[in-house]
Amino acid sequence: MEEKLNKNNRKIIFGSVVYKSAEKYLKDFFTSLEQQGNELFSILLLNDDIGDADLKSIVSPYALHIECIEYRNRTPVQLRIELLRQAKLRQADLLILGDCDDYFSHNRVQNIINTYENHLDKAFFYNDLVNMNGERLMPELPKEVIRFEDIGEYNFLGLSNTAVNIDKLSYEFIESLKEYHYYIFDWYFYSRILLLGLSGVKVQNCNTIYRLHENNLAGIAEMSYADIKREIMVKKQLYECLEKYNFYYALKRQQYQDKNQLEILDEQKQHYWWNLTK
């Protein structure tokens, strides 16, 4: 990848994983990146299963600086960890994340970079999620996330509305993420960062346009028996993986195993992810 630095000599990479079942969404994805109005960032794509010639044909119309790496026959978690590792290998300062089935407000990259430059002590940055009608999908996000307990029972930090200060993460930390063998990686990843004593801050006035479809692992949950049952399973898996880092998670896992300690939240219009129970 050609060295590409912004005005403050920072190396900014926008990273994503592309895959065949999302091919029909890639036009919106790349168009929104082309409209960012900031030429001083590169795009790093991990290609899961799109043919090489097909992917070249898809990206060729766009005036973007793109590097594609084939990384086939891997799980979604393995792909995301490899994306972090490749950004670290390329000595990125900031890795902006975005799912290829989503797209972004025209100012997302610039606003993230501005916030990062003003908060170099922060480990991650996050912005609002909206639907295709521009309606916010979650309750208002907090201005800062400081403690791991802040996302102990729900999450709003996804791999399409966040960016990571790569300088804050060691190779050893990234390698250690491979211990996680379940599906909901974003919640685990940001919990691990917070467990290091690091924190994050919200990026104002920009959005990720979150596309709701059948392949979204989290989606937007509804108050149903199936969603509540799935949420409890996801929480117990997360807590099991994290309890060696802090007793808080062992306690949470015990609480979710005891139905008498479980509370179903009142019906409400909006939830964070995994926010139906406590």
Contact indicator for 69, 43 with CB cutoff of 8 Å: no
What mean pLDDT is predicted for residues 168-180?
97
The predicted structure's pLDDT at residue 273: 92
- Residues 236-265 pLDDT 10s: 999 999 999 999 999 999 999 877 677 777
Which alpha helices (H) appear in the chain, and where do they start and end? Answer: 26-34, 52-59, 76-89, 108-118, 171-176, 185-195, 225-242, 247-257
Integer Cα distance of 91 and 85 in angstroms: 10
The predicted structure's pLDDT at residue 214: 52
Asked whether residue 137 carries a pLDDT value surpassing 80, the answer given is: yes
The predicted structure's pLDDT at residue 81: 98
Asked whether residue 217 carries a pLDDT value surpassing 50, the answer given is: no
The predicted structure's pLDDT at residue 278: 85
Asked whether residue 235 carries a pLDDT value surpassing 90, the answer given is: yes
What mean pLDDT is predicted for residues 90-113?
97
Asked whether residue 266 carries a pLDDT value surpassing 70, the answer given is: no
Q: Which region among 148-152, 195-199, 255-259 has the lowest average model confidence (pLDDT)?
A: 255-259
Asked whether residue 216 carries a pLDDT value surpassing 50, the answer given is: no
3-class DSSP state of 167: helix
What mean pLDDT is predicted for residues 146-154?
97
Integer Cα distance of 190 and 160 in angstroms: 13
Contact indicator for 29, 97 with CB cutoff of 8 Å: no
Count the neighbouring beta carbons within 10 Å of the beta carbon of residue 254. Answer: 13
Residue 111 is which amino acid?
Answer: N
Asked whether residue 196 carries a pLDDT value surpassing 70, the answer given is: yes
- Residues 16-52 pLDDT 10s: 999 999 999 999 999 999 999 877 899 999 999 999 9
Contact indicator for 101, 217 with CB cutoff of 8 Å: no
Percent over 90 (pLDDT), the chain = 78
Q: What are φ and ψ of residue 12, in 5° steps?
A: -110, 125
Q: 47-68: string of b/e by CB count within 10 Å (b at 16+)?
A: bbebeeeebeebbeebeebbeb
User: Left (φ > 0), alpha (ψ -120 to 50) or beta: where does 73 sit?
Assistant: left
Alpha carbon 25 to its chain centroid, in Å, reads 18
Asked whether residue 3 carries a pLDDT value surpassing 70, the answer given is: no
Residue 132 is given by DSSP the state T
Count the neighbouring beta carbons within 10 Å of the beta carbon of residue 191. Answer: 23
3-class DSSP state of 130: strand
**What is the chain's mean pLDDT, rounded?**
91
Alpha carbon 48 to its chain centroid, in Å, reads 17
What mean pLDDT is predicted for residues 65-82?
94
Residue 22 is given by DSSP the state G
Percent over 70 (pLDDT), the chain = 92
